[in-house]
Amino acid sequence: MRIDWILGSALVWLAIVATAGTASGEGDVDGDLVPDAFDNCIDVPNGPNQAPNNQVDADGDGYGNACDADFDQSGFVGLTDYNLLWACFGQVGACTNGAFFPALDLDVDGATNAIDQAILFTQLGNPFSASSGLACADPTLKTNLIGGTDPICN
Ligand SMILES: [Ca+2]
Ligand SMILES: [Ca+2]
Ligand SMILES: [Ca+2]
Ligand SMILES: [Ca+2]
């Protein structure tokens, strides 16, 4: 009888721990109102309270603009990415070369400018390391829009 009681208590305790674990798994690390499991930039606020940058992922690779300065999908944020941004620097909307490239607009304010450059600088010279809660976001499967490949996540 006493063994049954202990076993029952243990099961109740396990249920409580499991519930707590589930709750923490549905957290929102960056506090942007998008649960981590659905957040395409887990560590960077880019949710409804950062409108218009609400999970915008212009190149469709599963990583939101807010954390994705790897424009050429090379797995590294380097000089090529910087040059792509610089080619459109100061432009509002479409670039003068006709290649509207909204992925360059990291803060999604409609312009490619010093704000976007500053965000890129925080990632420059490093392997792409953003975290996304989306299952389709795989750095080895990033899509090369420059080469014309269709997006894989949007
Ligand atoms: Ca986020
Ligand atoms: Ca992206
Ligand atoms: Ca790159
Ligand atoms: Ca911008």
Please say whether the dihedral angle defined by the alpha carbons of residues 27, 28, 33 and 35, taken in this order, is positive or negative: negative
d(CA 66, CA 39) in angstroms, rounded, equals 11
Residue 57 Cα to ligand 2 middle (Å)? 5
Please report the pLDDT score of residue 13 as a whole number. Answer: 47
For residue 154, is it within any domain? no
For residue 123, is it within any domain? yes
For residue 108, is it within any domain? yes
- What's the number of CA atoms in the CB half-sphere (13 Å) around residue 144? 6
Tens place of pLDDT per residue across the chain (154 aa)? 555 655 555 444 444 444 444 444 579 999 999 999 999 999 999 999 999 999 999 888 899 999 999 988 888 999 999 999 999 999 988 776 656 678 899 999 999 999 999 999 999 999 999 999 998 887 665 654 544 455 567 5
For residue 111, is it within any domain? yes
Residue 61 Cα to ligand 4 middle (Å)? 19
Number of domain units in the chain:
1
For residue 105, is it within any domain? yes
The parent domain of residue 9 ranges over 2-141
Cβ atoms of 130 and 107 within 8 Å: the answer is no
Residue 69 Cα to ligand 2 middle (Å)? 8
- Domain of 17, CATH number, reads 1.10.1330.10
Among the bound ligands, name the one nearest to the CA of residue 72.
3
For residue 94, is it within any domain? yes
Residue with token string 């014309």: 148
Element (H, E) at 10: helix 2-25
- Neighbour-count burial of 35, counting CB atoms closer than 10 A to its CB (0-12 exposed, 13-18 middle, 19+ buried): middle
For residue 153, is it within any domain? no
d(CA 146, CA 100) in angstroms, rounded, equals 11
Please report the pLDDT score of residue 18 as a whole number. Answer: 42
